[in-house]
Chain A
Amino acid sequence: MEKLTKEGLEKLRQQGAATEKNYIKVGFSSCGIAAGAQEVYDVLCEEARKHNADVEIKKCGCVGICSAEPLVEVRVKNMPRVFYGKVDKDTAIKIMEKHVCGKMLVNDRIYDLKVN
């Protein structure tokens, strides 16, 4: 990376702000990792490959709902942005099959908390 100037910084900011893609964010802080975020992340990546899904899977910090870790945030175009809590392998598979590919929210796993 070259040394930034004020102008370069502004350019980077605008580039980054423009993207509007489907994403899945997995909480990757100590608490999330302790609760099993790595397995969830791996399963999501594998399932995404299998289904050839149009979604970016990202590692993020902690949203703060530690008791519901591993926590996964899903945003798919034309659907509400939601958090899934206490995600295990089965839920991760369902998130990919039902939510991302089938455009259907998964029952009994959503934590509807207004955080940001």
Chain B
Amino acid sequence: MNKKMIEEEIREIADSWKDKEGNLIMVLHEIQNRYGYVPREVSLVLSEILDVPLARIYEVITFYHFFRLTPPGKMKIAVCMGTACYLKGGAELLAELEHLLCVKPGETTKDGQFQLEVVRCLGCCGLAPVLKIKEKIYGGVKKKDIGDIIAQYSDETEAKAAA
């Protein structure tokens, strides 16, 4: 990444939060929204701009589950492991996904296509068990449906690549 470009972008984000106290977490949210994770280069720049030690930034990033230090896969698959989803078979869905994608939670498939995540409650307990791919939530998912659901997304990307 080009340092100058990063600097411009980060300055823009930081400026909008400049006058607000305790802005670090909100700035990190915006950075992650833009890049999908918080790259080290960005943290270095941010540390200079906000005049906050790098250690403080990393302290916060590593404390909260939401922030990532590594690039996400193209498509994030989040399996809900809230209580309702767990009771209704969330763990089996996760096992099936691990089996199909050959990754553990938190990892990305070798082709960089899918990233498997476990989340604590998406707030759709009535539809349990639930999983979320990109921004779409699937409710009442059965183990045998998972293959089909994933296939849709592989096709989608293939079609895009072809076009």
Contacts and interface: CB of A to CB of B under 8 A. Distances in A.
Interface of A: 30-31, 33-35, 65-67, 69
Contact of A31 (B127, B136, B138): B127
A69 B139 CA distance: 10
Contacts of B136: 34
B123 interface: yes
A67 B137 CA distance: 14
B122 interface: yes
A69 B122 contact: no
Nearest to A68: B126
B124 A30 contact: yes
B27 interface: no
Interface in B88-129: 122-127
Interface of B: 122-127, 130, 136-139
Nearest to B84: A66
Contacts of A65: 126
A24 to B, nearest CB: 21
A30 B123 contact: yes
A69 B137 contact: no
B139 A35 contact: yes
A67 B127 CA distance: 6
B125 A34 contact: no
B137 A30 contact: yes
B21 to A, nearest CB: 28
A66 B88 CA distance: 15
Given A33-B137, A34-B139, A66 B122 contact: no
Contacts of A67: 126-127
B126, B136, B139: which has the most chain A beta carbons within 10 Å? B126
A33 B130 CA distance: 13
A66 B143 CA distance: 21
A66 B140 CA distance: 12
A64 to B, nearest CB: 9
A15 B126 CA distance: 36
Contacts of B125: 66
Nearest to B123: A30
Given A66-B127, A67-B127, A30 B122 contact: yes
Contacts of A66: 124-127
